[in-house]
Structure 1
Amino acid sequence: MTREQALEKAIEAVEYGKSRGLQVEFSAEDATRTDRPFLKRVFGEVAKAGADRIDIPDTVGYSTPEYFAEITRDAIEATKLPISVHCHNDFGLAVANSLSGIRAGAQCAHVTINGIGERAGNAALEEFVMALKCLQYDKKYETGIKSELLYETSRFVSKTVGIQVQPNKAIVGDNAFGHESGIHTHGVLSNPLTYEPISPELVGRKRWLQVGKHAGIHGMNAMLAEYGIKPTDIQSKQILDKVKNLGDQGKQVTDVELLSIASNILGEKGIKRIVQLTGFSVSTGIGTMPYAFVKLNIDGKDFIGTDYGVGPVDAALNAIQKITGQISELKIKDYGLASISGGSTALCEVTIRVEDGQGNSVSAKSIGEDIVTTSVQAVIDGINRIMLKKMLNQKKIQN
C-alpha cells in the first residue's frame, strides 16, 4: 500500500464511522516511527473528514519524551482537535512519554493499572496519576482519580489477572515505601521526606521497616517498639549483631525472627501470643477437592473455619483467612516455599506476609518437615504479631 492509498483508507474509515453517527477517534498506528511530515498531513486530512479526536500511539515504545512532545504539538497544529496519547513501555519510557504529551497539550492519556499490556506493557495509571499530582510543573493537572485507592486497586487487579507486581515497582510495589539501610531508616524516622518523595498514605500505603545486614539501631528499635519492646542500649547492640549475622548469611530476617532474637536476649520466655492453634486437619486425594478444618483460640475465644482449596496448603490457609477475616480483616498477602535440605524427609522453609485492613504488614517464617503444618505455623506466627501490633497501637490511642 502506498502512502496515498493509506491516506485514502484513513479518510474512508473516518467518514464511514461518522456516517453511522459515531464519535471517531483516529489512531495512527506506529505514529512515532512514521515520517513526520506525512503523519502531520494524515492528521490534518482525517480532521477534515470529521474525526472528533486524534490519538498518537507509540506502538513499540520507540519514542523519546522530547520527540513525543514535538509530534503532539504537530497534531494540535494540524487538527485543532483534542489529542490522546497511547504509549508502550518497551524502553521503560511509557509514563515519561505520556507526561510529555500531556505537557505539550494532549488532553488524554491511555493508561493501565500496574502498566499491564502487550509485551513490556503500557503507561502505568498509578505512576502517571501521581506524577501529575506531585511533580513540579508549570501548571496544575486534575485527573479525578482518588489516589488513596491506588494500592488497593493495584492489588485487586494483580490478584484477579494473576500477574504479580514487581517488588521494586514505583508507587504500588512492595518495596516502594520499605526501608532497611540504617541511614535511611534513621532519616525516614526523623523526617519521612528525607527518603520518601510522597507520604505512603497518599496512595493507600503504609511505611514499613525491615532489618537485615544493612540495618541500624534506630530502625530496629522502632520496629521493636511497635510490639512494646524497649531494649537497653547494650541489648539493642546485641540484637543488632545477631540480625546482621543472619543478614550476612543471605537470610531474610522476618518480624517474627527479630522478636525471637529480642526475646532471647531480653531473657523473656516469649512475646504474648493472642492466637493459638487448637485444632487442625486436612484431607486430600485423587478425585477429591482438598479440604481443611482449623480451630483457633483468639484472645480466649474459640473460632472454627473450614474451606476448600487447590491443594491442602491452600485449603488450610483459606480456612484460617475465613476466621481472621471475620475478626480483624487479616489477609495472607504473600506466600513463599523453599526446600532447605534434600531427600524425602527434606526440611521446608515457609515465608509469609500477613496484612490487615489498614495496610500494616508483618512477615513470618517457619521451618519443618511437613509443608502443610509448617505453612499453618508460619501464618499463625504472622497473625499473632500483627494482632499484637494492632492491640498496642489501640492502647496508645486510648492513652
Structure 2
Amino acid sequence: MKARTIEIMDTTLRDGEQTSGVSFSASEKLTLAKLLLEELQVDRIEVASARVSEGELQAVKNITDWAATEGYLSNVEVLTFVDNGVSLKWMQEAGAKVQNLLTKGSLNHLTHQLKKTPQQHFTEIENVISEGQKLGIETNVYLEDWSNGMRNSKDYVFQFLDFLTKQPIKRVLLPDTLGVLTHTETGAFFKEIVQKYPNTHFDFHGHNDYDLSVANVMEAVKAGCHGLHLTVNGMGERAGNAPLASAVAVINDFLPEIKIGVKESSLYKVSKLVSAFTGFSIPDNKPIVGDNVFTQTAGIHADGDSKKNLYFNDLLPERFGRKRKYALGKTSGKANIQKNLQELGLTLNDDELKKVTERIIELGDKKERVTKDDLPYIISDVLDSNLRQQKVFVKSYVLTHSKGLKPSTTLSIEIEGKTYEESSQGDGQFDAFINALKKVYKKEGRELPKLVDYAVRIPPGSNSDALCETIITWQTKEKDFTTRGLDSDQTVSAIKATEKMLNLV
C-alpha cells in the first residue's frame, strides 16, 4: 500500500500564544519560526493573528523577511478576518502571502454572533478571497465551530462547503473549536466530508478540553484528512491544542500508511526551548517530552531493563534525542557555549552570543557551574532584554534584613532620564523594594500594576543552583501580564522581573 503524505501545520506562535499569560517576543518568534521549519521540518507555521498590535506586525515582518530569503514564504500563514480588507492590508504590510481566513462554521455562530444569513456571509467571504488574489495572497478558510456545526447544523456546513469548493482557495481548515468531539464523531464527520468532496484539501484543528485531541487526530487521519494543526507542548487556549510530539509519535507508530516529514529527534529540544521562552512548564509526565517519561524509578524495572529490555516499548528515548535514566529513589565546569547552543538547535548573532557568554561568566563567578538545562533560560532572558527600548533603570538598591527589625530597602531608579531615591520598609526585602517603588511612582503621579501572583523556581531538569527564575503576574485595569527575572539570587531575580514590568507599562 502506497504511503499517503499529510501536512503538519504548527500553530504554536498563533493559537499556542493564546495560552493564558503567554506572549512571545519578536526575537523569540523569529527564533522558533526558524527552528520549526528548518530543524523540526514541519510543513507550515501559523505565526500570528492580523491586526493584533504594532509589535505583532514587526514580529511577522521579521519572519517573512527571513522566510522570503530562505524560500519558506509560502509556508508562513497568518489568521485573518472578514473585515472589508483591513486584514489584507495588514498582511501586505507584514509581507505575508498566505491567509487563514476565519469564518463561521456553525449556523449558531453565524446567527447569534454575526446576525447574518449564509448568503450574506458567503458573499463577504468571496470578496475577501477575490481581493486576496489580486494582492497575490493565497487563501485557506477556517470554519470556526465546525464540530458543533456538524452536530447541529450539518445542512449549513455542506451548503458552506459547496460554496467553498468552487472558490480559488487552497485548503479548508476544520477546527473542533471548543474541544467537544469524540474520536467516533471525528472519524465519521471527516469520512463523510472527504468522500463528498474528494478534490478538496481538509485540515483538522483539534483542541484538548476532554483530553481527546490525540485520539481525534488519529481518527481524522484514518478518515482521510490531508493536514493537521498542532502545537508544541499542546499549548493553547483553555486545555490547549493537540500536542505536536504525541501526534507525531502516534502517527509514526500506529499509522504506517501515513507519511509525515517531522523530524522526531528534534521534538524534545524544541519543546524545552518553547517552555523556556514562555514560562509554560511541561508536566513531568507529559508523553514524549516530560522530564520523567524515560526515567525508571522502581528497582524491578531497572532489573528488567537489564534482562532483555523487559520494560521497554516502541517509544525509545533515542528517537526523540533523549536518554533513558534510572532515578535513585527509595525503591531502587562549563561546557563550550557554542556547542550547547548548537545542541539546542539555536543560532545567535555575535552580539547576542556575547551577551549570553557574559551572563554565564557572571553566574559562573557566583556559583559553581551552569548546566545546559539552564541555558534556554539565559537565552530567553537576554533576548527578551534586548527587545525592548529601556526607559526605566533600577540603578542601585540596598536590601537589609536584621533579626528583630523590619526588612528595608533604599532604592535609586532612573525614569526617562530623571533619577529618584526612596527608602521603605516591608514584610520582606522584595516587599520593601515595592513599597519604595510605590513612593517614587506616587511622586510622578503614576500607578503601579497590582502584583497578583509570584512564583519562584529553578530551571526544570537543572542539577545546578546557578539560576533562580522569578515569574510575576501583574494586573492592570486592561489585562493581566507576566514578566520573568533570572539571577542566582531570588530577590534580585524578582527585582529584574519588576524592572521589565516598569518598562512595559
TM-score range, shorter chain: 0.5 to 0.7
Q: Is the 8 A contact 1:7 1:42 kept in 2?
A: no
Counterpart residue number, 2:168: 50
Cα offset, 1:56, TM superposition? 0.8
Tell whether the 8 Å contact from 2:171 to 2:202 is kept in structure 1 after alignment: yes
1:79 maps to: 197
Q: Does 1:100 align with 2:219?
A: yes
User: 1:1-399, aligned counterparts within 5 Å?
Assistant: 2=111, 5-21=117-133, 22-34=137-149, 35-80=153-198, 81-135=200-254, 137=255, 139-192=256-309, 194-213=311-330, 215-216=331-332, 316=363, 320=367, 331=374
**Separation of aligned partners in 2, 1:125 and 1:207:** 21
Contact (CA 8 Å) 1:56, 1:72: kept in 2 or not? no
**2:270 and 2:464 mapped to 1: Cα distance?**
22
Deviations 1:35-90 (A, max 9, x none): 22322222122212333321110001000111111221232234330110111111
Shift of 1:330: 7.3
TM-fit CA distance, 1:116: 0.9
Would the aligned equivalents of 1:111 and 1:122 in 2 still touch at CA under 8 Å?
yes
| Maintained 8 Å contact 1:177/1:196 | no
Number of paired residues? 255
Query: For the structure 1 residues 315 and 109, does the alpha-carbon distance in structure 2 shift closer, same or farther, using more than 3 Å as the test?
Result: same
Contact preservation (8 Å) 1:69, 1:104:
yes
Indicate the SS of the match to 2:273: helix
Q: Are the equivalent residues in 1 in contact too, given 2:276–2:376 (CA < 8 A)?
A: no
Structure 1: which 5+ residue stretches go unaligned? 217-273, 276-304, 335-342, 356-360, 365-370, 375-399
Q: Deviations over 1:334-386 (max 9, x none)?
A: 9xxxxxxxx969xxxx997897xxxxx8689xxxxxx9799xxxxxxxxxxxx
3-state DSSP of counterpart to 1:85: strand
Percent identity reads 27
Q: CA RMSD in A?
A: 3.8
Q: In 2 relative to 1, CA 118–60 (structure 1 residues): closer, same or farther, beyond 3 Å?
A: same
TM-score by length of 2: 0.44
Q: CA deviation at 1:165?
A: 0.6
8 Å CA contact retained: 1:14, 1:24: no
Structure 1 residues 373 and 13, CA gap change in structure 2 (3 angstroms)? closer
Higher relative contact order (CA 8 A, sep 6+): 2
* Contact 1:68–1:97 under 8 Å retained in 2: yes
Question: d(CA) in 2 for partners of 1:107 and 1:318?
Answer: 53
1:27 CA drift (Å): 1.3
In 2, the alpha carbon distance for the partners of 1:33 and 1:372 equals 50
CA separation in 2, counterparts of 1:48 and 1:373? Answer: 62
AA in 2 matched with 1:143: I
After superposition, the Cα gap between the structure-2 partners of 1:54 and 1:195, relative to the gap in structure 1 and judged at 3 Å, is same
- Aligned partners of 2:141 and 2:489: how far apart in 1? 58
Q: TM-score, normalised by structure 1?
A: 0.55
